[in-house]
Amino acid sequence: MDIHEYQAKEMLKRFGVSTPRGGIAYSPEQAVYRCSELSGDKWVVKAQIHSGARGKAGGVRICATEEEVADAAQWMLGRRLVTHQTGPQGKLVNRLYIEEATSIAQEIYLGFVMDRKLERVVVVASAQGGMEIEEISANEPDSLIRSVVDPAVGMQNFQAREIAFQLGLDPTLIPAAVKTIIGCYRLMSETDANMVEINPLVVTKSNEIVALDAKLAFDDNALFRHPDISELRDKSQEDPRETYAGDRGLNYIGLDGKIGCIVNGAGLAMATLDMIKMAGGEPANFLDVGGGASPERVLMSFKAVLNDRNVEGILVNIFAGINRCDWIAEGVIRAVKELDLQMPLVVRLSGTNVEEGRKLLADSGLNITTASSLAEAAEKVVGEWKAAQMKEAS
C-alpha cells in the first residue's frame, strides 16, 4: 500500500526526520489560506498522487504570490496527471500539499528497500539526488552507495556515519544525517514498510538536512498490525480492478490483454499467463482464487475479471486439491447465468471431484468449452477469441 507525500512526511517527523512546514488543501481558496498560515515569500504547490515524476507533468510548482498559488491549484485540482509511472490513464488530483519553499545547497538520494535475495534491508544512497533512482543508476552508477543492515542488530550509528561520510557531507552535518538515516530505518522496521525513499534529501543554505520529498510503501499483509496506517489508504489512487478484488480477498493484478484468467494457486496462474501468450493471446489479469473456493467466491472472481472492460474471453484453470471441481463448476454455471456471459469461456478442471465437475458443466446446457489440459485450454480460448473478433469485424 502506498500513501501520499504529506502523509509520509508526517510519519517521518515522528521518527525524528526534519521536513519543511506545509499543509493540505482541497481547493484554491484553501491553498491560499495555507500560504498565509505558513507566511514567507515563496511556496511550493504539490499535487498529491501516488506517482513519482510529478514535476515533469506539471504537478509541482514554485509560486511567489498568492495569485500564482491559486492559479496552480486551479490547474491541478480535478486534473489527471500522466507520468511514466501512472500509465496513459493518469491519476486524479483531488488534494494538494502547500509547502514553504526551501533554499537548496545540495540534493541527496536516500532509499531503504527490502532485498529479497539477501533477505535484508538495504540502504541505497547517492550524492546525486533529485533524479529517479533508475536515472542515477544509468547516469551516475559510481555515485551509488549500498549498505546492508543486519536484522539481528538493526541499523547502527557507525553504519549511518559511514553512509553520511561517503555522501561527502560537511562534518558538522554528520550528526543530523545519522539521525535522519537511523530515523528512516526505525520507521521501516516498526511500521512494516517495504520501502522508504527520500528524494531529494537536501542540505539547505542554512546548513540543515531536510526531507524535501518522501515516498513510503507498506506490506499489505502486515496492515492488520497497523490500523492507523491502514486508514491512510486512498483508493482513488489505486487500480479500481485491483481494489474491487482486494476488498473481496482475491489476489488480483491487472494486465493489458484480452483474456481474463481465473486460476487457483500463484504458480499455476503464472503458468496460465505464459500458455496464453504462447498460444498467441495476451492475458488481461493474474487472479488466484485461492484454496477452498466456494461457488460464491468463483462468482466474485468472474465479477472481478469482468470489471476490466477490455476482457473479451475467459479461461478458468483449476487444479483442485483443497478446492473441489464440483464447487468450481457450480460457480462457473452460476456466473454464466447471473452475468449473462456472452464471450468465449473455456474451463479446464483437474483434481478432486473432477468427474462431478465436468458432468455439471456438460449437463448445464450453457455455452461453456471444456479442456483436459492447460495447453489445450489456452489454445481453445485464444482460438475462440480470435474467431469472435473476426466474426465481429465481418
Active site residue 244: no
The span from the CA of 369 to the CA of 376, in Å, is 11
Cell numbers at residue 360, please? Answer: 455439471
Nearest-Å Rg of the Cα atoms of the chain is 26
Q: Is 142 helix (H, G, I), strand (E, B) or coil?
A: helix
Q: Nearest CA to 313 among 382, 263, 253, 365?
A: 382
Give the whole-angstrom CA distance, residue 306 versus residue 266: 20
CA distance 79 to 47: 10
| Phi/psi of residue 109, nearest 5 degrees | -105, 135
| Secondary-structure percent of the chain, ordered helix, strand, coil, rounded to 5 | 40, 25, 35
What is the sign of the dihedral through the CA atoms of 151, 157, 160 and 161?
Answer: negative
Residue 337: alpha-carbon gap to chain centroid? 34
| CA–CA distance, 202 with 212 (Å, rounded to integer) | 7
| Cβ atoms of residues 283 and 261 within 8 Å | yes
Is the peptide bond preceding residue 200 cis, with omega within 30 degrees of 0?
yes
- Is 102 assigned a ligand-binding role in the annotation? yes
**Gap between the Cα atoms of 110 and 369, Å rounded:** 53
Neighbours of 184 (CB within 10 A): 28
The answer to whether 367 is a known ligand-binding residue is: no
Exactly one of 97, 109, 244, 252 is catalytic; name it.
109
Catalytic residue among 5, 6, 185, 197: 197
Cβ atoms of 21 and 213 closer than 8 Å:
no
Is 37 part of any known ligand binding site?
A: no
Residue 191 CA: distances (Å) to CA of 35, 201, 342: 32, 21, 46
Q: Are 72 and 59 in contact (CB under 8 A)?
A: no
Residue 109 annotated among the catalytic residues of the structure: yes
Q: Which region holds residue 385: left if phi is over 0, alpha if psi is between -120 and 50, else beta?
A: alpha
Has 99 been labeled as part of a binding site? yes
Binding residues for substrate: 264
Binding residues: 46, 99, 102, 107, 199, 213, 264
Q: Which residues are catalytic?
A: 109, 197
Binding residues for ATP: 46, 99, 102, 107
Binding residues for Mg(2+): 199, 213
